[in-house]
Structure 1
Amino acid sequence: MTTTRIGVTAREPRAHVELVVGALAPRLISRDAVRAHVAVAAAGMVLLGGDEVHVEIDVGPGCTLEIEDVGGTVAYRGPRSSWILEVRIGAGGTLLWHGLPFVVTDGADVERRSSLILESDARAVIRETLVLGRHGERGGRLISALSVVDRSGPVLLERLDADGRVPEPGVLGSNRVLDAVIAVGFRPPPRPGDLELDRPGAMARHLSDHTHGSPLDPVWDAWVARAEERSPTREPVLAR
């Protein structure tokens, strides 16, 4: 297993950005003293059966890291593969990750585990679209677990276990696409039907049998705008 690593640390005149290629290849698009925009794409065929993908994200204090997914991910038939994401967001930091569809084809068996650790006033907005099967397929098995914690304890703990061969009522039912925008660390603009967390955060979801036409695009835009609202008196931490 190789590890993809993306890290950003505030520094004048341009932030220090660490990019390590693993199963994913990160590429720097732009940066300033406290912000970096990075694109990620598969470095090879991902995910083949038995693959283990490990991604580490480290957002320094006062920094904003915007990650742009390029091409999405397709999990293929074979032994169980894993996708492990570990994120740490420093005090006053912000992570924005707009993921493209993660497709689980017929015969695939995938476990996704994402964990986020938030320091004081850290924020994140994540877009994820999980798809059971390509066109004409029912899809394989997907276990997707999400853990978000801060200094006070758990913010969001969730686990989805779905199998396109045996759809279950109350999970996805006859739908094969689960689109979601997840915000943690702040209160995004509320909408009817969204899940508001007990701690600052919310989740918007849309179930469908296709990936186009999701109503969550404007939700992403609005929640990102709110996440980036900061007090004008806040000073970023800059490394020299």
Structure 2
Amino acid sequence: MLTSTERTARTRVRVSPADTGRCRVRTTVTLSDPTASSLRPVLVHHDATSARVSLVPEGALLLAGDRVEVDLAVDAGLRLDLVEPGGTVAFDMRGGRAIWDVRITLGRGAVLTWAGEPFVVAAGAAVTRSTRIRLRDGAVLALRESLVLGRHGEEPGRVHQSTEIVTGAGPVLVEDLTFDALTAPALLGGHRVMTSVLLVGAPAPAGAEADRYDLEAGGTLWRRLGVQAHEADLTGAWGAVRSGVGPGEG
């Protein structure tokens, strides 16, 4: 847990039906104090059934004492495409720590795609990063993320990363990983970049067989390791996944 000096920034996005010809996109950002850095949701486009939102950082993210919370909800039959204009760097926290907490709920037949950019854990950083996703029947999730342990020439900071994705039939993916200067070399075989593409609720696209893992409870995970970011690139898999779940950019 963070101390009483933590700065909490909570970002909420909800896509719901409306009778106006465009779905309703409600966004809020709540800060515990004016100095808290946040992710500001910017509505790029929306129509009757879908919305495209960019998560734009306001202020330096992440610093010691930051607690970033992202709460996303997509109602039944609607779609949300999330993009990020750039990556996130967790800076040297000099003994402090930060929290990055994501909660997602998808209604029946809803679709969420999130084209995440690299999350860099610089030397001296300490981050707890968690993702919890709940999908109702027929919902589809397409998620891209890249974890980079240390900037070029640095040792990695410390990150505890947990993921739990659950459908109505039960857990699809439950993962709990801790990386730091001691554990990362052994766990990642000397690599410092881990890129993942996850697809749940839709069949895996043809032609994207490399680095593919079929999950026992349904869903597909593509994962690649590299010393440099380009070595862990999964652009091909992400493009195939995005094409498979229909229109959208990112």
TM-score (norm 1): 0.90
Q: Give 1:168 shift.
A: 3.9
Indicate yes or no: 2:14 matched with 1:7: yes
**Count of residues in Structure 1 that have an aligned counterpart in Structure 2:** 228
Q: Structure with the greater relative contact order (CA < 8 A, sep ≥ 6): 1 or 2?
A: 1
Correspondence for 2:55: 40
**What's the counterpart of residue 238 of structure 1?**
none
Query: C-alpha distance in 1, partners of 2:130/2:28?
Result: 20
Q: Which runs of 5+ in 1 are unaligned?
A: 230-240
Residue 236 of structure 1 corresponds to which residue in structure 2? Answer: none
In the alignment, the residues of structure 2 paired with residue 13 and residue 52 of structure 1 have an alpha-carbon distance, to the nearest angstrom, of: 36
Q: CA deviation at 1:71?
A: 1.6
Aligned to 2:219: 201
**Partners of 2:195 and 2:233 within 8 A in 1:** no
The letter of the residue matching 1:221 is G
**What does 1:159-170 correspond to in 2, within 5 Å?**
159-169=176-186
- Which ranges of structure 2 fall in alignment gaps of 5 or more residues? 1-7, 31-37
- Give the superposed CA RMSD: 1.5
Looking at structure 2, the residues matched to 166 and 5 of structure 1 have their Cα atoms a distance apart, in angstroms, of 34
Q: For residue 39 of structure 1, what is the amino acid of its counterpart?
A: S
| Conserved? CA contact 1:7–1:59, under 8 Å | yes
Query: Does the 8 Å CA contact 1:139/1:165 hold for their aligned counterparts?
Result: no
**How far is 1:66 from its partner?**
0.3
Q: Secondary structure at the match of 1:174?
A: coil
Cα deviation per residue 1:178-230 (whole Å; 9 max; x = unaligned)? 0110111222126144110122211101101111354411111111222239x
- 4+ residue runs over 4 A deviation: none
Aligned twin of 2:35: none
2:166 matched to 1:149? yes
Question: 2:229 — aligned with what?
Answer: 211
Whether the aligned pair in 2 keeps the contact of 1:62 and 1:93 (CA below 8 Å) is yes
Deviations 1:66-101 (A, max 9, x none): 000112110012212110000000100000000110
Matched, 1:21 2:37: no
Corresponding letter in the other structure for 1:224: R
